[in-house]
A = this chain, B = another copy of it.
């Protein structure tokens, strides 16, 4: 079994830097577009055989060192009491705007309400048969709450901000419900066979440090802590959070994802020896030439030596317009790079 990814997460020695790519099962792959041509996104998430099929596509095509469950961070939101459509961004209805709205939000039983997720994981573990480890994932409570309140992606998240600034008690009640939902949802993923868990805090970077600490960090920490005894590596990835590194140090994860705005060496220096790091090539680099991609990739592999463990990844999801040969060139460059001598 290729366990490079798990060893790097655990800060154990590796022969070379492992790599996987956020959204590696996605629209840049012709074989993914072929499946989507006959299946809408929601059906794909809810049909275990198909979700497993697209999860494996990038393992075959790119040779990455980990698979990540094909799903969406909003899957557990639906049984909380909202409808979700994709248009193409998510639209949640009705949005959660008031104390009464928060009252109506449920903490669902995941095995009862989204069994297809765990069935997908079981199929994947059989089909992967140890080729590479399987990563499960979910949103962080703040990011899940952000979608519930706003009802969709947003530039400023005005409704969410209005709630946290104007009615923090309701915000915390909602965040507690999100945290409870995510705890049981992610625990069930581990029981089904997920070998690592990544928590996406996509919107945490919208907050300053004090608000991040109050509304995002402590709820994320609760979820991460709940997974500690499971023994699987826990990855926390907050996007655009270079201003929050001092706070993120306290999240309790095993691995911290960094986007391309924070160099790995700087991240390692500020985050300390307790964390492996994951990242952090700007996904837009994959739009340049293979030579540029290889050069920038090698630089990041070398910089990763400053961390006590390094999993190569993009700094955000791969862009749909990425030429598939460019993604292949990236994986080749990282797999071909010499393992750097660790100097954390």
Contact = CB atoms under 8 A, between A and B. Distances in A.
A268 to B, nearest CB: 14
A143 B156 CA distance: 20
Contacts of A240: 205, 240
Contact of A261 (B166, B205, B283, B285): B205
A48 interface: no
B208 A166 contact: no
A260 B292 CA distance: 35
A296 interface: yes
A281 to B, nearest CB: 10
Interface string A215-233: 0000000000000000000
Contacts of A162: 284, 287-288
B209 A266 contact: yes
B161 A261 contact: no
A157 B287 CA distance: 11
Interface centre among A240, A243, A283, A285 (most CB of B within 10 A): A243
Q: Report how many copies the assembly holds.
A: 2
A282 interface: yes
Contact of A207 (B157, B206, B261, B319): B261
Nearest to A296: B165
Interface of A: 156-158, 161-162, 165-166, 205-210, 240, 242-243, 260-263, 266, 282-285, 287-289, 292, 296, 319, 321
17 contacts: A156-B284, A157-B284, A158-B319, A161-B284, A165-B282, A165-B284, A165-B285, A166-B287, A166-B288, A205-B261, A206-B261, A208-B260, A209-B261, A240-B240, A242-B243, A243-B261, A243-B262
Given A162-B284, A243-B261, 5 more contacts: A156-B319, A158-B284, A161-B287, A205-B261, A208-B263
